[in-house]
A = this chain, B = another copy of it.
Amino acid sequence: MPIALITGSSGFIGQHVLAQFPAFGWTAIGLARNPNKCRPEVLRNGSQVVQDPGNYDGFCDLLHELHPDVIIHLATRYIKDHKPSDIPDLIRSNIAYGAELLEAMRSCGVQRLVIAGTTWQHHLVDDEQYVPSNFYAATKQAFEDLVRWYVDACGFSAIALRLTDTYGPDDPRRKLFTLLQEAAQSGEPLRMSPGEQLLDPLFVDDAVAAFAVAAHRILQVDHRFEIYRVTPGQPRKLRDIVTLWCQITGKTPTIMWGGVPYREREVMRPWTGGKVLPGWKPAVSLEEGIRRCWKQQT
């Protein structure tokens, strides 16, 4: 079986990739700064997780030892609205870390790479052009510019996926469904924006499937840098998603719609530009996804 080396494997998507990649025909080896953060069930299928060295020399040792066929680069620092003090860590995690990894790949002859980007690299909805919604998205684009050199000058092949917001069981991030559940439990009203923005949430299993499709594809693609959109293509208003969640869970949190204004530079419609990853389509509807999240929590 081909070997996939996965960075950021103790993160939300990373753990699901580790857990599910063997079923897609891969030997999966994860890197994590703290391997103990991985839930034990993630490793039941034979996947491993090892200490992330985080620097060029350490990456070289690992690549020489493991001979991975593909790197799935998921390690990232995600901050929707950054503060000045976040800048050094955003640069280090989203650019510098990956640059050391790329350079180690070059030195060790490992040349195939799948990276995770965000639809927020395209604030103009219908356009392929780079216009970042936030600084986080800008760091993703900046890293891709470094990748470009390794593809053009060093014979690498790379696929960058542009993912929309992901959700699923075991998400440690405080996102919509968690907030709704907390509000239902506490009885405290939840202040939200007016809620007219369209969202297109991606269930984590569908995200994992996209990485598997991209990993297989990159084995056959030589010396190219391909960029694909990974979105379900079923945008709905935030308000309607909340209504759906309430129907499925039977919970009735108190929502104060318009209790906070839209964020500056709120994304009102999800990106529809670019090309969808060939061979991938979403398998989990929003209804089913919410059900699975809820079932896992109760």
**Chain B residues closer than 8 Å to A153, beta-carbon distance:** 132-134, 264-265
- Bound Cα distance from A215 to B95, whole angstroms: 29
Are A145 and B141 closer than 8 Å at their CB atoms?
Answer: yes
Interface digits, A93-130 against B, CB 8 Å rule (1 contact, 0 not)? 00110011001101100000000000000010000001
Are A95 and B142 closer than 8 Å at their CB atoms?
Answer: yes
Shortest distance between the CB of A28 and any CB in chain B (Å): 27
In this assembly, does A88 line the interface, its C-beta being within 8 Å of a C-beta of chain B? Answer: yes
In this assembly, does A135 line the interface, its C-beta being within 8 Å of a C-beta of chain B? Answer: yes
Interface digits, A194-218 against B, CB 8 Å rule (1 contact, 0 not)? 0000000000000000000000000
In this assembly, does A188 line the interface, its C-beta being within 8 Å of a C-beta of chain B? Answer: no
Number of interface residues of A (CB under 8 A): 37
Are B99 and A84 closer than 8 Å at their CB atoms?
Answer: no
Are B132 and A56 closer than 8 Å at their CB atoms?
Answer: no
Q: Give A137's nearest chain B residue, CB to CB.
A: B149
**Chain B residues closer than 8 Å to A104, beta-carbon distance:** 84
Shortest distance between the CB of A94 and any CB in chain B (Å): 10
Those of A42-69 within 8 Å (CB) of chain B = 56
- Bound Cα distance from A265 to B106, whole angstroms: 16
**Chain B residues closer than 8 Å to A87, beta-carbon distance:** 56, 96, 99-100, 103
**Which of the residues B95, B149, B264 comes within 8 Å of A91, measured between beta carbons?**
B95
Q: Which 6 A-B pairs have the closest CB atoms?
A: A142-B142, A138-B149, A142-B145, A141-B145, A91-B96, A132-B149
- 19 of the cross-chain contacts (CB-CB < 8 Å) are A84-B107, A88-B100, A91-B95, A91-B96, A92-B96, A95-B95, A95-B96, A96-B96, A130-B148, A131-B148, A132-B145, A132-B148, A133-B153, A137-B149, A138-B145, A141-B142, A141-B145, A142-B146, A153-B264
11 additional A-B residue pairs with CB within 8 Å, beyond A56-B84, A142-B143: A87-B96, A87-B100, A88-B100, A91-B91, A91-B95, A91-B99, A132-B149, A132-B153, A134-B153, A137-B149, A141-B148
A residues engaging B (CB < 8 A)?
56, 84-85, 87-88, 90-92, 95-96, 99-100, 103-104, 106-107, 123, 130-135, 137-139, 141-143, 145-146, 148-149, 152-153, 264-265
